[in-house]
């Protein structure tokens, strides 16, 4: 872990050469698309995918890229949903943060401090947040940090993350607050949505821990406060979500991410993902020059999922059947190889996967024979 990361700040060290290289990959004059915790959680869910690691690292707009490839992604919120979400968030943070503290179970917080976190640029905002966290911890009063900015180094590059809020309690405990617009009905919300929110919050917890490590008296709570509308109303309600498991899984997966420099170095000379300046054919060629690791889970997490799925299907890759099936099939990597092994035309009979496939095929054949047997017998009696 680098010293600069320990201070909670990104390394100023992302080399100029790498920055230039990533700029070339995005295209001249194209601003990098910032990674957020949701994207990081998705990246951590598929750490072996070089394609996503590179495109996210370079800040390429994957949704625009997917459209140019002819496989647009079904992601994104409507303008109405965004406005509704913003007005709900304002309601949650009303009354100088007291409403939020009530949701946290603190009825009489006394004075609540809401420091101004404005600063120039992401590095300035990250430094301002780190200072506010230190001051709040030293002051020993309730403090609400509204949209702080924290940094996490991912695959050798800094990523800036913006939780909805962080509450600092008088005992120096920092709690991440995640505000969502999906409803909590009778105290429970959709499990898959809660799971996604927990994975996203775990990324914030990891980033905050870097700053807490150099802040005297600070600890980061491994439970986050999830705030949602109550029973389809606009009234906020909250639930404490334990993210210990998601934190350790994300931490492990992010550490496994392949370094972006390594992937960029392996690209053919002149490769670019310039969505504005390249033809669809050029973009397809560029995307195909980076290996991917498609799995059906990509459909819920990555803008390029339809494109990668089509390529995986064309190649007859068994990955399209799911990670569990892929794992069971061992060295058989294509559907054709699986079928040939099952028919006894290829494959080592000693290979457990091959033996299981042949057994399964024999059982299927036996079942089919049995199903057709009664009519044959009936014919013989006549």
Min dist CB 303 to ligand SF4, Å, is 7
Identity of the residue, 75 or 344, whose beta carbon is nearer to ligand SF4 in the bound complex: 75
3-class state of residue 330 by DSSP: coil
Q: What is the dihedral of CA 121, 123, 129, 135, to 10 degrees?
A: -120
SS3 368: helix
> Shortest gap between Cβ of 74 and ligand SF4 (angstroms)?
13
Q: Which residues bind ligand SF4 (CB under 6 A)?
A: 46, 49, 51-52, 292-294, 298, 302, 304-305, 308
Q: Which is nearer to ligand SF4, 5 or 49 (CB)?
A: 49
Distance, CA of 371 to CA of 365 (rounded, Å): 10
Task: Provide the minimum distance between the beta carbon of 161 and ligand SF4 in the complex, in angstroms, as a whole number.
Answer: 19
| Nearer Cβ to ligand SF4 (51/210) | 51
In the complex, least distance from residue 310 CB atom to ligand SF4, rounded to whole angstroms: 10
Which CB sits closer to ligand SF4, 32 or 47? 47
CA pair distance 174, 59, nearest whole angstrom:
30
Provide the minimum distance between the beta carbon of 51 and ligand SF4 in the complex, in angstroms, as a whole number. Answer: 4
CA distances for 61 relative to 26, 66, 127, 223, angstroms: 8, 9, 27, 32
Closest distance to ligand SF4 from the beta carbon of 304 (Å): 4
The residue (of 142 and 273) whose beta carbon lies closer to ligand SF4 is 273
Question: CB of residue 250 vs ligand SF4: minimum separation in angstroms?
Answer: 15
Stated length of the chain: 382
> Helices then strands (H, E): number in the chain?
16, 9
Extract the tokens encoding 129. Answer: 């947040």
| Residue whose CB is less far from ligand SF4, 125 or 199 | 199
**Measured from the CB atom, is 228 or 305 closer to ligand SF4?**
305
Q: How far is the CB of 275 from ligand SF4 (least distance, A)?
A: 15
Contact between 273 and 286 under an 8 Å Cβ cutoff? The reply is: yes
- As a three-state string, the secondary structure of 12-24 is CCCCHHHHHHHHH
Tokens of 202: 């775990």
Closer residue to ligand SF4, CB minimum distance, 209 or 274: 274
The C-alpha atoms of residue 56 and residue 25 are separated, in whole angstroms, by 11
Q: In the complex with ligand SF4, which residue's Cβ is closer, 255 or 360?
A: 255
Contact call for residues 158 and 152 (beta carbons, < 8 A): yes
The angle formed by the CA atoms of residues 48, 354 and 335, to the nearest 5 degrees, is: 55
Query: Is 328 exposed, middle or buried, given 0-12, 13-18 or 19+ CB atoms closer than 10 A?
Result: middle
Residue 367 class from Cβ within 10 Å (0-12 exposed, 13-18 middle, 19+ buried)? exposed
Q: Nearest distance from residue 76's CB to ligand SF4, in Å?
A: 16
């Amino acid at each position: 872990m680098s010293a600069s990361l320990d201070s909670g700040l990104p390394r100023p060290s992302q080399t100029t050469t790498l920055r230039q290289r990533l700029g070339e990959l995005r295209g001249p004059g194209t601003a990098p698309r910032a990674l957020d915790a949701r994207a990081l959680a998705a990246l951590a869910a598929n750490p072996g995918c070089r394609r996503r690691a590179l495109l996210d690292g370079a800040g390429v707009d994957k949704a625009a890229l997917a459209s140019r490839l002819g496989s647009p992604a079904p992601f994104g919120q409507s303008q109405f949903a965004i406005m509704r979400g913003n007005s709900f968030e304002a309601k949650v943070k009303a009354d100088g943060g007291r409403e939020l503290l009530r949701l946290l179970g603190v009825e009489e917080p006394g004075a609540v401090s809401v420091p101004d976190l404005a600063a120039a640029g992401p590095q300035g905002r990250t430094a301002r947040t780190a200072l506010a966290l230190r001051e709040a911890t030293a002051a020993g009063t309730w403090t609400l940090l509204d949209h702080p900015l924290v940094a996490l180094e991912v695959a050798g590059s800094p990523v800036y993350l913006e939780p909805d809020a962080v509450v600092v309690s008088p005992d120096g405990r920092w709690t991440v607050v995640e505000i969502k617009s999906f409803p909590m009905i009778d105290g429970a919300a959709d499990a898959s949505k809660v799971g996604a929110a927990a994975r996203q919050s775990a990324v914030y917890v990891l980033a905050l821990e870097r700053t807490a490590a150099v802040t005297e008296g600070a600890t980061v709570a491994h439970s986050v406060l999830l705030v949602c509308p109550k029973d389809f109303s606009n009234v906020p309600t909250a639930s404490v979500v334990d993210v210990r498991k998601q934190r350790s899984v994300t931490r492990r997966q992010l550490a496994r991410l392949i370094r972006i420099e390594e992937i960029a170095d392996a690209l053919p000379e002149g490769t670019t993902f310039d969505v504005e300046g390249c033809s669809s054919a050029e973009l397809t060629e560029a995307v195909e020059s980076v290996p991917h690791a498609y799995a059906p889970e990509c459909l819920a997490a990555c803008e390029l999922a339809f494109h990668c799925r089509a390529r995986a299907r064309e190649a007859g890759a068994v990955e399209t059947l799911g990670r569990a099936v892929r794992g069971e099939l061992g060295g058989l990597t294509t559907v054709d190889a699986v079928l040939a092994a099952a028919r006894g035309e290829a494959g080592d009979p000693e290979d457990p996967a091959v033996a299981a496939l042949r057994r399964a095929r024999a059982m299927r054949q036996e079942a089919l024979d049995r199903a057709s047997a009664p009519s044959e017998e009936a014919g013989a009696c006549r």
